[in-house]
Structure 1
Amino acid sequence: MNEFWVFGYGSLMWNPGFESLRRTRAQLSGYHRSLCISSHIYRGTRETPGLVMGLDRGGACEGVAFAVDAEKEREVMQYLRARELVTNAYRELILPITLANEQSVPAVCYVVDPAHEQYMGRLSLDRQAQMVRHAQGKAGANHDYVISTVEHLRKMSIKDSDLELVARLLEQAPERPADKVGR
């Protein structure tokens, strides 16, 4: 069957927004998952930016690979570009990923552009939790995005220590934007 691959490491894992033929665990080498992009549309505002994940240089990232029917490539790529390249904080690259069966395939990956104004670099985990806790954008609360991603990683038995610690900090002081209503 003629197909192409898309690599998901954040919300694409649990909310791809496109139909796939199958999905499998996969690893991308040379990049790691990081809450390193300031979000002022989907998970925050200009006044209260949130943080979303990017693939940042170094290490490795475990996530999900989606096999997509090649006949739907144009439609899926239009959707992904509208979703992922809205502010051009990511670069769309074709990179080799290793599937759960050890097969290496080229996949569409969205990696952070370190020259982009939204790139935050390596923030402390406390600062990440602080930004996430108070942010909300068009796609909802930033808190929910982080917690949902951690829950999906756990279901897949993928360990991401930094993200787990941010989630723990959020759970310790869970005040979110909706909690402030009526105050």
Structure 2
Amino acid sequence: MEKDQQSETDQEFWVFGYGSLMWRPGFPHEETQPALLRGYHRSMCILSIRYRGTPEKPGLVLGLEEGGECMGRAYRVAPEHIADAVRYLQDRELVTGVYLERTLPVTLEDGRVVDTYGFIADKDHVQYRGALTDREAAEIILAGHGQEGPARDYLANTVGHLEALGIHDVDLVRLLAIVDEAAQASR
């Protein structure tokens, strides 16, 4: 069978993770590679009203915003697991509709460029909070506590996991320092 006649399930299927999917993907995969996404950056720009906050006291979690670049992980999913992986990711990421599904081209560590399935922040959604100052973001993070715990823990875990993977996100490290400084000052 010629390549252009292959069915969708015969094609490689990759998923891009830039936050908790990097250390807790939750779906079976056959390969993991460091991956660089150009044109988007990781940002604490999503109000969390479930996992790290409530509607009354939202927390703040990651989203991908346009501009810059983002180092993350790409996961290759076997054809027989694609449907289950997509269903799982939709259930996990599309709970409130604040993320948009996209095909995101990334460059893998081995130099290959592959299309990945991923999610970006919906700037028109009520939970989107782009352009927050660090102080504004810190206030939201300190107030947020949802079914998965405090928003501060989410940020600290994110920074720790990124560092363990060799990814130093200057903006998140700075924000965590501001959050911890504000928490200390309020004691």
TM-score in terms of structure 2 length: 0.89
1:4: Cα distance to partner? 1.1
Aligned match for 2:47, one of 38, 43, 50: 38
1:174: Cα distance to partner? 4.1
Partner letter of residue 15 of structure 1?
A: R
Partner letter of residue 134 of structure 2?
A: L
- Over 4 Å off, 4+ runs: none
* In 1: Cα distance, 2:29 partner to 2:151 partner: 26
1:102: Cα distance to partner? 1.4
* In 1: Cα distance, 2:99 partner to 2:153 partner: 22
Partner letter of residue 21 of structure 1?
A: E
1:173: Cα distance to partner? 4.1
Q: Which residues in structure 2 correspond to 1:65-144 (within 5 Å)?
A: 65-144=74-153
Instruction: For residues 89-126 of structure 1, give each alpha carbon's deviation from its aligned partner in whole angstroms, at most 9, with x where no partner exists.
Output: 11101111111111100001100111111111111112
Tell me which structure has the larger Cα radius of gyration. Answer: 2
Instruction: Confirm or deny: 8 A CA contact 2:44 2:62 kept in the other structure.
Output: yes
* In 1: Cα distance, 2:148 partner to 2:119 partner: 19
The worse-fitting range, judged by mean Cα deviation, of 163-172 and 95-104 is 163-172
Provide structure 1 residue ranges, at least 5 long, that are not aligned to the other structure.
none
* In 1: Cα distance, 2:53 partner to 2:106 partner: 31
1:7: Cα distance to partner? 0.5
Instruction: Confirm or deny: 8 A CA contact 1:95 1:108 kept in the other structure.
Output: yes
* In 2: Cα distance, 1:71 partner to 1:19 partner: 10
